[in-house]
Each structure stands twice: as C-alpha cells, then as structure tokens.
Amino acid sequence: MDIQSIKNRFGIIGNDPQLNYALQVAEQVANTDLSVLIFGESGVGKEVFSQIIHNLSSRRHNPFIAVNCGAIPEGTIDSELFGHEKGSFTSASDQRKGYFETVSGGTIFLDEIGEMPIGTQARLLRVLETGEFIRVGSSKVLKTNVRVIAATNKDLLTLTQQGKFREDLYYRLNTVPIRVPALRERRDDIPMLFRKFVGDFAERYKTQPVQLDEGGRQLLMSYGWPGNVRELKNIAEQISVLSKDKTVTADQLSAFLPNRESSTRMPALTPHTSNLPVQSFSGQEQQSGSSTTEREILYKLFFDLKKDMNDLKKMMFELAHQQGYNPSPVSMPSEHLVPAYESAAADNAFNTPAITNYQGGEKKSSPSFVIHHPGDEVNHHEEVEESLSLIDREKEFIIKALQKHKGKRKDAAHELGISERTLYRKIKEYDIEE
C-alpha cells in the first residue's frame, strides 16, 4: 500500500516529508512482530500510528487496546496489565484477567510509557523477552502472544540516566523508532488540517464552514501550536461555533489563540537563594487578577534582598574585628552598620572612601563605617572614623603603588584593586608625576 492510500484510509492530512517518512516506516514494520517506539510531542497523533501498524499487520483481525500508563494509579497498573488472583489484595473479590491475557494474539498500545513504574517495567521486560507473565498474587507462569507498541512524549534516554526508566527496557522497546513531527515543523500542512477540521465541524453543527483571509492564514501558520494537532482541532471547533463571520481575519483569529505576548513578557521566577516557590505568569492568569500575587512576590524579593544585605554587613563587620579594627566604639547591633564602601561602581575603589592601608610593607583593610540608628532618617548619620584626609591618602597610595612597581600602571592598578583606566584618570586628577 502506498503512502497516499494510507493517508486516505486513516484520515491523515499533510504532505510534509517528515510525516511521509514516519508513515513509510510504520507501513514497512507493520507485517513484523518487532516492538515499536513512537515518540513525539503531546497531541501529534501517536495513537493513530499505532492503529496504522496494527491494521496493516497480520494481527488486524485480533484485538487492539490502547492503555495510557500515566492514567492508571501505580498501585493498580500491575493488576490492569497482568491480572490478579482472588484475595491478592483488599478489593480483589474475584479473579481478573489482565490486558496481556485478554489481548493475546493482538496488539497492545502503551501510551506514555515513561510514566510506567519501575516495578511494572521489569514485568513488561519479561513479557517482551519471553512472552511470560504472572498474575498479581499468583505463582503460575502464563504465556501470551501480544505485540507491544509504545509511545512517549519524554526523552526516555534521559530518564534512564536519572534512574526513572530501565535501560534494558528502553533498548528492547526501541527496536524500531518512529518519530512523529510536531505541527510547527510542518507549517505548510496547517491550512489543510484547518480546512479539514472546520469542514467536519460545519457538517456536524449544520453550518457553513468558516474560512480565513490571508492575514488569518499567515497568523495560523506562524503560531507555535504547543498542543499540536489536538490544539488546532480545538481552535477550529471554537471558531466554527463562536465566530459570527464566516471569513475570519487575523484579529478575529487572535482572539481564539492564547495570549502569547503577555505570556512571553511576564517573568518566570525560579527558586534561587530565597525560599520562593516557582511561579510563572501566563496571559489568562494575569487577566484574572494575579497583580496581588505579583506584588506579594516582589515584596518577598525585596525582603530577602534586605536580609541578604544585612547578612553581608554583619560578615564585613566581623571581618573587620578579626583584622584588628574596631569601627564601632558605640555598642550597636551589626545590622545597623553599613560599610561606607558598600556599593562601588564597575571600576570600584577610589570612588568611595579609601579602604587600603600600608603598614610595614603589608596591605591591610581599614574600613570606614557609618552608623544608622533605628528610626533615623536616611540622610542622618554619624561618622565614626575621621575621613578628612582621604584624598591625600588616596594620592599617597597611588604614588607608593607606582613606585613599588617602577611606574608600571597595569601592575600598580592590580595592586590597588582598580582598573588601569581608573588609575590613569586618578593620575591626571591628582597631577602625579610618573
């Protein structure tokens, strides 16, 4: 059967080369009993490919069942897949056959295989390798003849590295991989799919099918479609039911699409040094009154920033004491002590009070502190250390550094902790002869 015949039979729309290749692989592998792993984003139509493989195989007259591994609770998935004996657990009032027993001779499609618990993965691996399984609560080994097709929207290889998926099961399932492309990767197919969907909905709701003008068509193709074909179908149904005009413009279409602009412009906060929970803002949440939440988060950020600054001040104050300096003759809690050189510019040093002192050829820190009393105004402060001679001392330090390094500005600037450009400016400013 050629690719176009498969498309017509299973209602597949599109001519993208990636889609055609996936269909070709599905058709070639259908008549074998090889395990197939279909991977692709949510909403691309992975289950359709499993049905294609089953219906083109020699098992097509036998049962086919699709199981969503992520929708079955961990405590019952073994019973669902492999069955259980009466009394094997509290609610097991009767013996029950599992899917691998009832679908023997047919095909079982395991969707979202990455959500399967590790213990169940071991049972599945045994079925794939030997065709054997054991019901929950039994010791009797049973045989089955089931073809397994699995699908996932996750990177299973990454999950194996994280210990969340068995590596041996991954390679056993991945005998034949089929990748279904995302809708944004086949943009030329989007208008055709849209026409198909609106035509189907017009027939269902007994209305005239809507059409897109050129602007609407361009917007339809430029949208990212994170929900893929499923999202496109939902949008087509909304437009078919809610649109007043049968020719939809770009502005009218944008009213049905998620507000991409607001969702990209709003910040997404991730946990860092603070204890903030992860928060993200999308257009709908913002419109529904999330301004209060944003304000609370900003307050929390400012509070944590203030706390971090107080911790830094305390650390600097303790460091000064360890170096033998006593910047505060007045008994005062450390959180009220602010280093005078607290925030330097990019060039740093010498734009604030001097912080370096040479004694006996050694370089020591000599911080100057300003005491802020509780309740005081911001501009009210008390100088603890005399600073009238700062300019002279700064000039003296520059001269000594130049002498020490024999006029080499780069080395002198490194010694002083400033950039060479700042040193050059200070030399000109103080008229220092080199």
Q: Where are the domains of the chain?
A: 3-181, 185-257, 338-430
More confident residue, 311 or 402: 402
Model pLDDT, residue 267: 41
How many residues in the chain?
434
CA distances, 70 to each of 65, 73, 110, 111, 114 (Å): 15, 8, 10, 8, 8
167-187 pLDDT, tens digit per residue, is 999 999 999 999 999 999 999
Helix and strand tally (H, E) in the chain? 18, 16
Overall CATH class of domain 3-181: alpha beta
275-307 pLDDT, tens digit per residue, is 434 333 333 333 334 444 555 566 566 666 767
Dihedral class, residue 100 (left if φ above 0, else alpha if ψ from -120 to 50, else beta): alpha
25-47 pLDDT, tens digit per residue, is 999 999 999 999 999 999 999 99
Considering the domain 185-257, what is its CATH architecture?
A: Orthogonal Bundle (1.10)
Average pLDDT value for the chain: 79
141: Cβ contacts below 8 Å, ≥ 6 apart? 132, 133, 134
Model pLDDT, residue 390: 66
Residue 352 above 50 pLDDT? no
Model pLDDT, residue 360: 43
312-334 pLDDT, tens digit per residue, is 777 777 776 666 655 544 444 44
Identical topology for domains 3-181 and 185-257: no
Question: Are residues 47 and 151 in contact, defined by beta-carbon separation less than 8 angstroms?
Answer: yes
More confident residue, 331 or 48: 48
